[in-house]
Chain A
Amino acid sequence: MMLSRVAERMYWFGRYIERTENTARLLNVNTSLMLDLPKVKFIWGSLIDITGSQPAFSARFQVEDERNVVKFLLDDPSGSIKNSVEMARENVRTTREVMPNETWEKVNALKLFVDSHMADGLKRDGRHQFLKEVLRACHEITGYLAGSMSNNEAYNFIKIGRNLERADMTTRIIDVGVLNLTKDDHPEIQEYENILWNNVLRSSTAYQMYRQHVKDRVNGEDVCDFMINDEVFPRSVVHCLKEVQSCFETLPNPDQPLRSLAHTQRMVAGSDVIVLLNEGKLHQYIDEIQEDLAEIHDQLVQSWFLHDAAEVTHETAKA
């Protein structure tokens, strides 16, 4: 039976690898988008909004320009790729005994790479290569685990971490897309609407799958609906929640976490994204989803990670 402490570290390992991957993709897609939008100035700041790190960023930087934002997302002591990789590594380092052997080697190699190539990542001409390598390493780790780790409790906790992080990121990417397009003080952005929605899709590797699924041209309504409600796209909110559900169901005493998960699933199923978008209420709706994700996190911490010594009695001991 899995130790609570180990389960917690698996969960965070899953989250941090996913966060690393998401941040790398976000930077890569936006570096390329910037070249398509020479007239638009504020795009870099939105990356700080997406990652929810506005306070940390403002504490260190004043201007939301390319240099500062990239520096923050790559190299800052908190909330950067460097930090996520370090945290992922620390979580494996303390749980090496439950993971297939090479997991540690691969995560350690990723950290060594990030540390030694940081200078390339900060420069525009080296960035693509740097981020591509980070993405490749994340995929390698995820793929290696999928191919060599039993689908046991440890694996389920990694998967829960990955999917909650992923659902959270998807909602943030949509949110920023919505906010950017509704900012009145930047009317010039409207002419790039199509490019921006494309960018939202690319930030979630959703472009191709979206094109196959939605035959219409790329438009905000369909993009938001696809990224929240598509049943089979691995980064859609609905799909991530389904994955989390399947993991919860394999674990002991899952009632509370399953209950708060079901609450979110019902809310998502009962909402019409297109109507909400057109009524200007999508931002508020996304806030609600994010609060729910936080609640699911709290519930799983309560159920599986915390054990009070006071509860040790003969009865519970036999459980």
Chain B
Amino acid sequence: MKLDYKNTPNSFDELFTPTGRARQGLSELTGFLRKMSTGNLNQRQRNAEMTIRTMGITFTVYSQGENIDREWPFDIIPRTIMKKEWDRVQQGLVQRLTALNHFINDVYNDQKIIKDKVVPGDLLKSSANFRKECVGITPQFGVWAHICGSDLIRDSDGTMHVLEDNLRVPSGVSYMLENRNISKRVLPELFESYNIQPMDNYPTQLFDTLSSISPYPADFPEVVVLTPGIFNSAYFEHSFLAQRMGAELVEGSDLVVGDDDCVYMKTVAGLSRVDVIYRRIDDMFLDPEVFYKDSALGVNGLMRAWKKGNVGLANAPGAGVADDKVVYTYVPDMIRYYLGEDPILPNVPSFKCEDKSQRQHVLENLENLVVKPANESGGYGMYIGPRENRRTTAEMKRRIKANPRNYIAQPIINLSTVPTLCDNSIEPRHVDLRPFILQSDRSFVTAGGLTRVALVKGSLVVNSSQGGGSKDTWIIEEKGS
């Protein structure tokens, strides 16, 4: 089809240079798009959608008191990153998670980083995700966050920034893997001409990471995935990962803690010991004995079993202390402090509202800033300056003044764009990227990640619950290397 593609002003396009040429190493993809008729591309898009339908790849939206299963929105044109750049990003992500794990272990033990005045002490006192129940514990290898999903965005210069680190129960990896399956089905010829890094080893890597934290390293570990159940929005993923790892998918009611403080699951042959739990429920629901008393999702005594070292929990309870927008602003300092290295990946420049002069700047420039509450995820409670009105701006000011610790502000980043199939044309749409990082006594980063795309023209909101779609992400090895 004739490509009448115009880059969005002030946004970096991942495929085309501002003069409309293919970026280095990507001319075969642009050539392919030019060669295909509109009808052919649309047909492939429909095939992809049909595949998604029959494979039952869904995500759940909670709306008007009801859970609705929607088909996973997918655009067939891939998002591409050259391997040379990705190698550096991978190093940066491992560096970051290593520092974050040092930080978590430090704050639950000696708190050296506070004593050395690198981060302020009241940061923890006011953190919604600091669990006093975890103080004094050092899990295997000192690692708390075994699975991390970090959101990366590229600014208008093309520089990759870390927007946030999801350390509680990050989701999306199953969609990343399914996207690859679909694009292999609908764009087979491109997989022949490019050397695209495979990503389907993730479940194996995840299983190895989980196995490595078993209290009984000599045995074959019994690994289970703990899900809140079918009504959770990420249930598809829980089931997917359990299946790919050959692990049991359990609900809280399937588990019991015995009087020996070990965890057991109820099987047809009676009770059977569980060694590692990949838990996909939030801290506060894990154990009614310790956290929310009326949680029906958790297991009585689970914290007891974990503290005694009788079961591995991933991520460890309390790991979310580092998943906080204010803590985020200190990550570059942590990297220097714990590792003595310079950060490989920059943060998005951020203003901490708790700091008086930064707060003043934020209050005076709200219209041009994004304000985020410290402990929310999924884009909830976010304030986006240019889209707000006088009333919401006044309200935001009031909230910041009332609880400055709870907010950070960032300049608006014009996310990079990727060509996307829109009815009968190909247009730029904004994207982000969520790679997944695993860590125990070793580290692993996915080859690429989940690319989310804002399907609405000009929109910067990529969340699937708010009109976002997704793309396969190709890490392409340079020819001749």
What are the residues of chain A within 8 A of B239 when measuring CB–CB?
A: 93-94, 96-97
Q: Which of A81-100 contact B (CB under 8 A)?
A: 90, 93-98
What are the residues of chain B within 8 A of A90 when measuring CB–CB?
A: 230
CA–CA, A94 and B269, complex, Å: 21
CA–CA, A253 and B269, complex, Å: 7
What are the residues of chain A within 8 A of B54 when measuring CB–CB?
A: 105, 108-109, 112
> Contact: B271 with A312, CB < 8 Å?
yes
Q: Quick one: which of B249, B251, B260, B271 contacts A307, CB cutoff 8 A?
A: B271
> Contact: B249 with A1, CB < 8 Å?
no
Taking the nearest CB of chain A, how far is it from the CB of B268, in angstroms? 4
What are the residues of chain B within 8 A of A316 when measuring CB–CB?
A: 270-271
Stretch in B7-15, B17-25, B204-212, B240-248 touching the partner? B240-248
What are the residues of chain A within 8 A of B56 when measuring CB–CB?
A: 93, 104-105, 108
> Contact: B271 with A317, CB < 8 Å?
yes
What are the residues of chain B within 8 A of A109 when measuring CB–CB?
A: 54
Cβ of A59 < 8 Å from any Cβ of B? no
Q: Which of A291-314 contact B (CB under 8 A)?
A: 304-305, 307, 309, 311-314
Q: Which of B221-268 contact A (CB under 8 A)?
A: 230, 239-240, 242-243, 247-251, 253-254, 256-260, 262, 264-268
Taking the nearest CB of chain B, how far is it from the CB of A225, in angstroms? 36
For chain A, the bracket of interface size reads 35 or more
What are the residues of chain A within 8 A of B273 when measuring CB–CB?
A: 317
A312-B271, A317-B273 given; A94·B230 CB < 8 A? yes
> Contact: B267 with A3, CB < 8 Å?
yes
CA–CA, A210 and B230, complex, Å: 45
What are the residues of chain A within 8 A of B53 when measuring CB–CB?
A: 112
CA–CA, A28 and B291, complex, Å: 56
> Contact: A1 with B260, CB < 8 Å?
no
> Contact: B266 with A3, CB < 8 Å?
yes
> Contact: B242 with A4, CB < 8 Å?
no
Closest to B300 in A: A309
> Contact: A317 with B264, CB < 8 Å?
yes
Q: Quick one: which of B250, B259, B268 contacts A7, CB cutoff 8 A?
A: B268
Cβ of B272 < 8 Å from any Cβ of A? yes
Q: Quick one: which of B240, B243, B272 contacts A1, CB cutoff 8 A?
A: B272
What are the residues of chain B within 8 A of A311 when measuring CB–CB?
A: 271
Closest to A92 in B: B56
> Contact: A5 with B268, CB < 8 Å?
no
Cβ of A35 < 8 Å from any Cβ of B? no
Cβ of B55 < 8 Å from any Cβ of A? yes
CA–CA, A167 and B243, complex, Å: 32
What are the residues of chain A within 8 A of B272 when measuring CB–CB?
A: 1
> Per-residue CB proximity of A23-49 to B under 8 Å, as 1/0?
000000000000000000000000000
Count B-side interface residues using an 8 Å CB cutoff.
Answer: 32
Cβ of A252 < 8 Å from any Cβ of B? yes
> Contact: A1 with B256, CB < 8 Å?
no
Q: Quick one: which of A93, A94, A97, A252 contacts B268, CB cutoff 8 A?
A: A252
Q: Quick one: which of A3, A104, A153 contacts B254, CB cutoff 8 A?
A: A3
Closest to A98 in B: B243
> Per-residue CB proximity of A220-248 to B under 8 Å, as 1/0?
00000000000000000000000000000
What are the residues of chain A within 8 A of B271 when measuring CB–CB?
A: 307, 311-312, 316-317, 319
What are the residues of chain B within 8 A of A251 when measuring CB–CB?
A: 268
Closest to B222 in A: A1
Closest to A303 in B: B268
Taking the nearest CB of chain A, how far is it from the CB of B177, in angstroms? 13
CA–CA, A312 and B254, complex, Å: 13
CA–CA, A95 and B249, complex, Å: 8
CA–CA, A311 and B258, complex, Å: 9
> Per-residue CB proximity of A90-122 to B under 8 Å, as 1/0?
100111111001001100110010000000000
Taking the nearest CB of chain A, how far is it from the CB of B142, in angstroms? 30
Taking the nearest CB of chain A, how far is it from the CB of B47, in angstroms? 15
Taking the nearest CB of chain B, how far is it from the CB of A119, in angstroms? 20
CA–CA, A104 and B259, complex, Å: 39
Q: Quick one: which of A94, A252, A314 contacts B270, CB cutoff 8 A?
A: A252
CA–CA, A98 and B271, complex, Å: 19
Closest to B267 in A: A1
What are the residues of chain B within 8 A of A96 when measuring CB–CB?
A: 239-240, 243
A96-B243, A97-B239 given; A252·B269 CB < 8 A? yes
CA–CA, A3 and B227, complex, Å: 14
CA–CA, A135 and B250, complex, Å: 33
Closest to B69 in A: A93
CA–CA, A246 and B272, complex, Å: 25
A1-B272, A251-B268 given; A309·B240 CB < 8 A? no
> Per-residue CB proximity of B56-99 to A under 8 Å, as 1/0?
10000000000000000000000000000000000000000000
CA–CA, A3 and B253, complex, Å: 11
Closest to B248 in A: A3
Quick one: which of B242, B265, B266 has the most chain A CB within 10 A? B266
Taking the nearest CB of chain A, how far is it from the CB of B428, in angstroms? 34
What are the residues of chain B within 8 A of A105 when measuring CB–CB?
A: 54-56
A105-B56, A109-B54, A313-B258 given; A97·B267 CB < 8 A? no
CA–CA, A95 and B248, complex, Å: 9
Q: Which of A166-187 contact B (CB under 8 A)?
A: none
Taking the nearest CB of chain A, how far is it from the CB of B235, in angstroms? 8
What are the residues of chain A within 8 A of B266 when measuring CB–CB?
A: 3-5, 307
Quick one: which of A112, A252, A305, A309 has the most chain B CB within 10 A? A309
CA–CA, A95 and B257, complex, Å: 23
Taking the nearest CB of chain B, how far is it from the CB of A209, in angstroms? 34
CA–CA, A105 and B55, complex, Å: 5
Taking the nearest CB of chain A, how far is it from the CB of B244, in angstroms? 8
> Contact: B247 with A97, CB < 8 Å?
yes
Taking the nearest CB of chain B, how far is it from the CB of A66, in angstroms? 33
CA–CA, A319 and B264, complex, Å: 11
Taking the nearest CB of chain A, how far is it from the CB of B176, in angstroms? 18
> Contact: B258 with A4, CB < 8 Å?
no
> Contact: B262 with A4, CB < 8 Å?
no
Quick one: which of A6, A313, A317 has the most chain B CB within 10 A? A317
CA–CA, A313 and B53, complex, Å: 46
- Chain A residues within CB distance 8 Å of chain B: 1-7, 90, 93-98, 101, 104-105, 108-109, 112, 153, 251-253, 304-305, 307, 309, 311-314, 316-317, 319
Q: Which 6 A-B pairs have the closest CB atoms?
A: A97-B243, A252-B269, A307-B266, A97-B242, A1-B267, A319-B270
Known contacts A5-B266, A307-B271, A309-B256; 12 additional CB pairs below 8 A are A3-B267, A6-B248, A96-B239, A97-B240, A98-B243, A101-B243, A109-B54, A112-B53, A252-B268, A253-B269, A312-B256, A317-B260
Q: Could you pull out 25 A-B pairs where Cβ atoms are within 8 angstroms?
A: A1-B268, A1-B272, A2-B267, A2-B268, A3-B254, A3-B265, A6-B249, A94-B230, A97-B248, A98-B243, A108-B56, A109-B54, A153-B268, A251-B268, A253-B269, A253-B270, A304-B268, A307-B266, A307-B270, A312-B259, A312-B264, A313-B259, A314-B259, A317-B262, A319-B271
